[in-house]
Amino acid sequence: MDKELDWKNLSFGYMPTDYNVRCYFRDGKWGEVEVSQSEELNLHIAATCLHYGQEIFEGLKAFRGKDGKIRVFRLEENARRIRESAKGILMEPLPEEKFKEMVMKVVKLNERFVPPYGSGASLYIRPLEIGISAQVGVKPASEYLFLILVTPVGPYFKTGFRPTNICIMRQYDRVAPNGTGLWKVGGNYAASLTAGEHAHELGYSAVLYLDPKEKKYLDECGPANFIAIKNGTYITPASQSILPSITNKSLMQLAEDMGITVERRHITVDELEEIDEAAAVGTAAVASPVGEIDDLDTGKKYVVSKNGEPGPVVTRLYETLRGIQLGEIEDRHGWCTIVE
């Protein structure tokens, strides 16, 4: 970093930093954490990650708080979730303590890339595990690489916290019933690219997928969970096909703290007529307010935001979670890990 970055105008993309950290699983055990300055990997051409999709990842963030301290948000939950992803596609799960060691080390090593408080930017942390054994038979690898890279990213909302429009397109499924939807595997995101690009071409920010079996219930909203407020109740889809969002889990807890009833249940498409607020929730945006949901197959338009503004409950939840991440609001649940 030869010159001071323009922190307030960072994009939400990749920027080189000083270090990444790596750990190998070989001979039945995890090795020591290694520090690297290389942005490259030396992979065998027959590695299982390249041929059979043995690849999982996570996304979390570090923030420089109002008090100048660096906070990593919900580190333990990400450690647990990537272990579940590993088990789901028969990869070797990284111990939670090793995950924490690697996250803390890579953030500390790249401390100068953690954006300043007030910039709206953060340090994005991307853990990744891949199968590296050289084999052409369809079976799990015996060797794995776990690495973590970091990059400073700008705020998700470049134009402010404003509602956007999303759409329903029944010709696309993100995952299969009883498939890999519960785990954060790269293949799920590859499967969503065509639908996502189609939606963007039509002027929508995301696709609201329906359940892949009956096409009757709401599922995920692109790479994010879907939430809605209905008659003062926080509702979110119950599905075995969607990733259990750590952001959604956090917002549900905050809603309960506020005295809001929380329901995780099946939500039919028709029920969209009765909701008062909606948002797509995830690490990148926290909560992206929804203005309108257009069902492109039926022509039905569900107007969520009548005045073009985010709803009061979604706004309060968003601001509370952001406040906790930035050290502005008391972290009652111990979600933030301070980088010493």
Tell me which residues are annotated as active site.
Answer: 184
Neighbouring CB atoms inside 10 A of 334's CB total 8
Residue count of the chain: 340
Only one residue has tokens 């073009």, namely: 308
Only one residue has tokens 């595997």, namely: 185
CB-count burial class (<10 Å; 0-12, 13-18, 19+) for 160 = exposed
Q: Cα separation of 238 and 298, whole Å? A: 24
β-pairing, 233-237 vs 262-265, is: parallel
Tokens standing for 91? 């990869």
Q: Cα separation of 137 and 139, whole Å? A: 6
Coil vs helix vs strand at 136:
coil
Neighbouring CB atoms inside 10 A of 241's CB total 23
β-pairing, 60-64 vs 70-73, is: antiparallel
Bridge partners, residue 49, by sequence: none
Amino acid at residue number 134 = A
β-pairing, 224-230 vs 233-237, is: antiparallel
**CA dist list (Å): 125 to 18, 58, 169:** 13, 8, 32
Q: Cα separation of 165 and 303, whole Å? A: 9
Coil vs helix vs strand at 91:
coil
Only one residue has tokens 């595990």, namely: 129
- Structural contact between residues 251 and 228, judged by C-beta atoms closer than 8 angstroms: no
